[in-house]
Amino acid sequence: MKVFIAACLLVAVSATVLEETGVKFQAFKLKHGKTYKNQVEETARFNIFKDNLRAIEQHNVLYEQGLVSYKKGINRFTDMTQEEFRAFLTLSSSKKPHFNTTEHVLTGLAVPDSIDWRTKGQVTGVKDQGNCGSCWAFSVTGSTEAAYYRKAGKLVSLSEQQLVDCSTDINAGCNGGYLDETFTYVKSKGLEAESTYPYKGTDGSCKYSASKVVTKVSGHKSLKSEDENALLDAVGNVGPVSVAIDATYLSSYESGIYEDDWCSPSELNHGVLVVGYGTSNGKKYWIVKNSWGGSFGESGYFRLLRGKNECGVAEDTVYPII
């Protein structure tokens, strides 16, 4: 009898957990506008969501115990498999020489203990690349927006869609692109404002108009690979820097300082923008602007461990000159 009662209780608990997961899945679909083509796909997505939710909850137990430095949460990627998310990351980057660039030389200035260029007017609002693999374009516009602000004293949101549509001799639009090579396009053609060439999130024909260009760049500087001191100097004394990272396991990040033993220092697949740095409870971090919308992470940003070349943050780094 005791065995029977225990079995009944186990079934009841399992049913309750499944029901709670179902409620969370419905809320997830509503928040992120998720629709599926049929019930078969919806069931499959629910099962993926359930598995990811379990992993999130297990990780957060460790977070509450102080054993890991960041918290995970449900976001728009929670119904995706790891393989699907990896395919979403399309930056074309590797440990290779930079072309048509000069190397950043240390400024020789004292590096501030912390800095956040968001508070100094150099950073536009968080943007969303959608389902297009255009992270590289957002990284490039981000550092160019900051450079233009330093030059002209005006913060203008620049066009990622122009880069997606028009730099196809270098990049592959929604299927990926390069950071440093894209600056050669911006040097040649310049960038329109987002207001005149708005983001669509799909590949399109080039509608560039030279008469609408806000700014060109005169060149760009790359930083010595694996040198976080150079990155610290550039971010601290120049401004936001375009960087490439391995974001393979970043999908469920919610808050805290991201540190992951599985993160590769060389398999770089996502372009982002370092906009500052600081220290929290003795742990050093970079402030990173992402392009996955404001609902991701810390209002569209994440903090990344600083000082260990975490996720290859110092491997492929570049900023423009105007």
Catalytic residue set: 135, 270, 290
Q: What number of helices (H) and strands (E) belong to the chain?
A: 7, 12
Tokens of 192: 């329109």
Between CA 292 and CA 253 the distance in angstroms is: 12
Q: Which H or E run includes 243? A: strand 241-245
Between CA 242 and CA 140 the distance in angstroms is: 6
Between CA 258 and CA 260 the distance in angstroms is: 7
Q: Are 293 and 128 in contact (CB under 8 A)?
A: yes
Between CA 235 and CA 229 the distance in angstroms is: 10
Q: For residue 129, how far is the Cα from the chain centroid? A: 10
Q: How many other β-carbons are positioned within 10 Å of the β-carbon of residue 33? A: 7
